[in-house]
Amino acid sequence: MVGGGVLSIREVNALEIEQFEWLFGNIIEHCPEAARAAALQRPFRRVVDLKIAFCHFLDGLDTRGKESVLFNHPDLASKHSDGKKLTQESETEQNTAGIDAMTREERLTLNNLNQMYKDTFSFPFVICARENRVQTILTAIEERLKNSREVELKTGIDEVKKISSLRINDLVWPDA
């Protein structure tokens, strides 16, 4: 899904660093340091180069840094995570997947699976909600519970990359 964006890549390149960090500060959930790192990669020729800058930030993190990125994501179907209010981006993304319209039984199942996942891997289950619906999310979490921690760390970061790409699409016009 391609978003409409509000800025051209030329306008992104012209932003003052503080403006860039403010605008792109939640491309990776609660991770303004990613925006700071991406800002230093300017100028970008294309939107894809901006997306690559965020991916390179994630790829450059050590295991602890990647875990921290995953810890910053809320549990699906949760309005609050560790005392933090759900960000507008996460709420919109979860609603797109139908999380807000789950049945009581689906919500209970998801909450139980979320807890099992955190008990197993010590970080929250992360999936690109905009690319999924409730049933595929439930199936994915059940399947991913069978993975090793290393595989899940990589899978979770790959999902963060998908989320980041879609969030950038919401902010920046597609390349012509």
Q: Hey, which residues are catalytic here?
A: 73
C-alpha span between 124 and 89 (Å, rounded):
17
Task: Give the position of tokens 């519970």.
Answer: 145
Encoded tokens for 78: 């949760």
How many CB atoms sit inside 10 A of residue 22's CB? Answer: 13
User: Which residues neighbour 57 within 8 Å (Cβ) at sequence distance 6 or greater?
Assistant: 28, 33, 34, 37, 38
CB 110 within 8 A of CB 102: yes
